[in-house]
Homo-oligomer: A and B are copies of this chain.
Amino acid sequence: MASLKRLLVGTPIRTARLAHERLTKKTSLAIFASDALSSTAYATEQILLVLAAAYVAGQTDAFSRVIPISIAIAILLVIVAISYRQTIYAYPSGGGAFIVAKENLGTLPGLVAGASLLVDYVLTVSVSVAAGVEAITSAMVGTRFADLHNHRVWLCLFFIAFITVANLRGVREAGSLFAAPSYAFIFSFLCLIGYGLVRYYLNPGLVPAPNDVDLKIAEGYHAQPLNLLLLLGAFANGCAALTGIEAISNGVQAFKQPESKNAATTLSWMAALLITMFLGASVLTRLFNIHPLEHETVISQIARIVFVGRLGWFYYIVQATTASILILAANTSFAGFPRLSSLLARDRFLPRQLSNLGDRLVFSNGIVVLAVFSGVLVWAFRGDTSRLIPLYAVGVFLSFTLSQAGMVVHWWREGNMLRGMREAAGLSTPFAPATQSQSENNLAGKFEARRLTEASRSMAEVEQFQKKSHWKKYLVINGIGAISTFVVLMVFILTKFMHGAWIVVVLIPLLVLMFLRIHRHYFEVAQQLSTEGLEGLRPIRHQVIVPISGIHRGVIAALEYAKSIAPHHVTAIYVNLDEESTQKLREKWQQWGSGVNLVVVASPYRSLLRPLLNYVDRVKRSSPGDVITIVLPEFVPAKWWQNLLHNQNTLFLKGALLFKRGVVVTNVPYHLEH
Contacts and interface: CB of A to CB of B under 8 A. Distances in A.
Contacts of A561: 540, 627, 664
Nearest to A665: B667
Interface in A5-43: 12-16
Contacts of A670: 529
Contact of A647 (B353, B646, B663): B353
A538 B557 CA distance: 9
Nearest to A673: B528
Interface in A532-565: 534, 536-540, 542, 551-554, 556, 559-561, 563-565
Given A521-B674, A536-B592, A537-B563, 18 more contacts: A12-B607, A15-B604, A353-B647, A357-B606, A359-B605, A359-B606, A529-B552, A529-B553, A529-B635, A531-B556, A531-B592, A534-B556, A540-B560, A636-B658, A636-B659, A658-B667, A666-B666, A666-B667
Interface string A507-540: 0000000000010011011001111001011111
A351 interface: yes
Contact of A518 (B525, B645, B661): B645
A642 interface: yes
Contact of A528 (B553, B565, B629): B553
Contacts of A542: 564
Contacts of A352: 645-647
Interface in A580-622: 592, 594, 604-607
A605 B559 CA distance: 40
Of the candidates A12, A627, A635, A666, the one having the most CB atoms from chain B within 10 angstroms of its own CB is: A666
A642 B525 CA distance: 10
A669 to B, nearest CB: 7
A594 B556 contact: no
A605 B12 contact: yes
B674 A524 contact: yes
A12 B610 CA distance: 13
Given A529-B553, A537-B559, A604-B15, A521 B642 contact: yes
A488 interface: no
A664 B669 contact: yes
Nearest to A671: B661
A286 to B, nearest CB: 53
A628 B180 CA distance: 56
Contacts of A553: 528-531, 534
Contacts of A592: 531, 536-537
A604 B530 contact: no
A218 interface: no
B537 A672 contact: no
Interface in A632-674: 635-637, 642, 644-647, 658-659, 661, 663-674
Nearest to A670: B529
B605 A14 contact: yes
A346 to B, nearest CB: 12
Nearest to A559: B537
A670 B627 CA distance: 12
Contacts of A539: 560, 564
A149 to B, nearest CB: 32
Interface of A: 12-16, 351-353, 356-357, 359, 518, 521-522, 524-525, 528-531, 534, 536-540, 542, 551-554, 556, 559-561, 563-565, 577, 592, 594, 604-607, 627, 629, 635-637, 642, 644-647, 658-659, 661, 663-674
Nearest to A540: B564
**Count of chain copies:** 2
A14 B602 CA distance: 12
A635 B525 contact: yes
Contact of A672 (B15, B528, B538, B565): B528
Q: Which 5 A-B pairs have the closest CB atoms?
A: A529-B552, A540-B564, A666-B666, A12-B605, A14-B604
B661 A664 contact: no
A631 to B, nearest CB: 9
Nearest to A529: B552
Given A659-B636, A663-B669, A644 B560 contact: no
A645 B522 contact: yes
A594 B647 contact: no
Contacts of A663: 669
A670 B665 CA distance: 12
Contacts of A644: 351
B645 A351 contact: yes
A243 to B, nearest CB: 30
Contacts of A605: 12-15, 359
Of the candidates A539, A605, A644, A670, the one having the most CB atoms from chain B within 10 angstroms of its own CB is: A605
A5 to B, nearest CB: 13
Nearest to A636: B658
Nearest to A604: B14
A604 B642 CA distance: 37
Of the candidates A522, A561, A607, A659, the one having the most CB atoms from chain B within 10 angstroms of its own CB is: A561
A666 B539 CA distance: 18
19 contacts: A13-B605, A352-B646, A356-B606, A359-B606, A521-B637, A521-B645, A521-B674, A524-B674, A525-B635, A528-B673, A529-B552, A536-B592, A537-B563, A540-B560, A540-B564, A565-B565, A663-B669, A664-B667, A666-B666
Given A521-B645, A636-B658, A636-B659, A604 B536 contact: no
Given A352-B647, A554-B529, A605-B14, A524 B673 contact: yes
Contacts of A647: 352-353, 356
Nearest to A664: B668
A308 to B, nearest CB: 54
Contacts of A560: 537-540
B518 A531 contact: no
Nearest to A542: B564
A605 B668 CA distance: 31
